[in-house]
């Protein structure tokens, strides 16, 4: 098969490699589309290695058709599905635990499905399982126009929360408003801490992918009993913490990742998400925001677009010249 692997210059290029063997409980997915995530850039730069024993090929989510069943799997051949992966999505074939498959909802394209698992499950995990966001609470979502941010806005609104978000520039701010954000702020304008304090006073939950440069403002904005969930450190990995402020607010600081969690835990997250939001998935309310769908030969251009923060929503790769359009899924 062909996969996108780094060449001598460090750029990704289609390369012949072996089809991954199937372990018990796995299926082989013929990949039609793969989602692009910032974690892919980090892994390529040597900062985010795959978990031990997992594929070194980039790609944390993919969509396609099941073409082979591994030991112990008795059903699913031919199924059109997407899946959260520990790695391997940038390839024509990927081994997937059958328990992680999500059947393509009716009317979804492979591209839409490939853009879905990583961002939807990350948003759900951190808003609802980690922060335990409740109806009527106020949540501040940074990076609102990102893949995770757009998914988080939609889920939080469906859950009855008041949503505040930051984004970079008027176009991204407008997208956040159209997705339902009650207050969308341009991070290049007035400091978000000042605006949120003036408009809302405080927030109950912060979903943060920036880290160091936003830490003090995030903590300052937390209401009593508030929860700050850090899921990335794009603005730096070290920050000073005023323990008295944390104690006085009776606040919780939560660090969270998804990729390194055991398979059994990821399955529970997937199942909890579908139990809560399955109807919204089926209705199309939680379809991902797609920035662009590009042939996988242009992966380096796609990565550069993400690196320069020019994306709104998700970038998706059409794998191996496959048509990532409508699947007619049921």
pLDDT band at 330 (very low <50, low <70, confident <90, very high): very low
Q: Does any domain span residue 276? A: no
Q: Lowest mean pLDDT of 70-74, 218-222, 325-329, name the range.
A: 325-329
pLDDT of residue 327: 58
Q: Which is more confident, 68 or 233?
A: 68
Q: Does any domain span residue 327? A: no
| Long-range pairs, 49-55, Cβ under 8 A, ≥24 | 50/86, 50/87, 50/259, 51/86, 51/87, 51/259, 51/260, 54/86, 54/87, 54/88, 55/20, 55/85, 55/86, 55/87, 55/88, 55/91, 55/94, 55/95
Q: Are 188 and 307 contacting, i.e. CB atoms less than 8 angstroms apart?
A: no
> What is the share, in percent, of the chain residues with pLDDT greater than 90?
93
Give the C-alpha separation, 138 to 150, whole Å. Answer: 16
Whether the predicted pLDDT of 29 surpasses 90: yes
Give the C-alpha separation, 99 to 232, whole Å. Answer: 27
CATH code at 103? 3.90.180.10
> What is the share, in percent, of the chain residues with pLDDT greater than 70?
97
Residue 173 sits in the same domain as residue 51:
no
Domain's final residue, options 255, 278, 301: 255
Residue 181 sits in the same domain as residue 213:
yes
pLDDT of residue 233: 87
Taking Cα atoms as reference points, which of 185, 183, 180 lies closest to residue 169? 185
Q: Does any domain span residue 279? A: no
Domains held by the chain: number: 2
Residue 139 sits in the same domain as residue 241:
yes
Taking Cα atoms as reference points, which of 8, 6, 2, 69 lies closest to residue 34? 2
Q: Model pTM? A: 0.95
CATH code at 170? 3.40.50.720
| Alpha-helical segments (H) within the chain | 38-44, 110-114, 117-124, 147-158, 170-179, 192-199, 212-221, 243-249, 263-283, 299-307
Domain encompassing residue 231: 119-255
């Amino acid at each position: 098969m062909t996969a996108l692997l780094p060449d001598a210059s460090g750029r990704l290029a289609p390369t012949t490699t072996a089809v991954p063997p199937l372990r018990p409980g796995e299926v082989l997915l013929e990949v039609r589309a793969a989602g692009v995530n910032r974690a892919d850039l980090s892994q390529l730069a040597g900062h985010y290695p795959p978990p031990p024993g997992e594929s070194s090929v980039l790609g944390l989510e993919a969509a396609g058709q099941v073409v082979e069943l591994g030991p112990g799997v008795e059903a699913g051949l031919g199924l059109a599905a997407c899946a959260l992966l520990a790695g391997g999505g940038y390839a024509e074939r990927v081994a997937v635990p059958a328990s992680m498959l999500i059947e393509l909802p009716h009317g979804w394209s492979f591209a839409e499905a490939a853009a879905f698992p990583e961002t939807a499950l990350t948003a759900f995990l951190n808003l609802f399982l980690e922060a335990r966001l409740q109806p009527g609470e106020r949540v501040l979502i940074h990076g609102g126009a990102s893949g995770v941010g757009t998914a988080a806005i939609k889920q939080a609104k469906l859950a009855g929360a008041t949503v505040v978000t930051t984004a970079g520039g008027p176009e991204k701010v407008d997208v956040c408003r159209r997705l339902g954000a009650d207050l969308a702020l341009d991070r290049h304008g007035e400091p978000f801490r000042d605006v949120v304090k003036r408009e809302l006073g405080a927030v109950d939950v912060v979903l943060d992918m920036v880290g160091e440069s936003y830490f003090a403002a995030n903590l300052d904005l937390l209401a009593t009993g508030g929860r700050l969930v850090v899921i990335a450190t794009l603005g730096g990995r070290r920050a000073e913490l005023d323990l008295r402020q944390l104690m006085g607010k009776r606040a919780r600081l939560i660090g969270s990742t998804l990729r390194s969690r055991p398979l059994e835990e990821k399955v529970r997250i997937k199942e909890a998400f579908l139990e809560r939001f399955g109807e919204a998935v089926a209705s199309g309310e939680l379809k991902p925001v797609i920035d662009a769908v590009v042939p996988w030969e242009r992966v380096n251009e796609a990565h550069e677009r993400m690196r320069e923060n020019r994306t709104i929503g998700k970038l998706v790769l059409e794998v191996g010249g496959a048509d990532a359009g409508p699947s007619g899924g049921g």
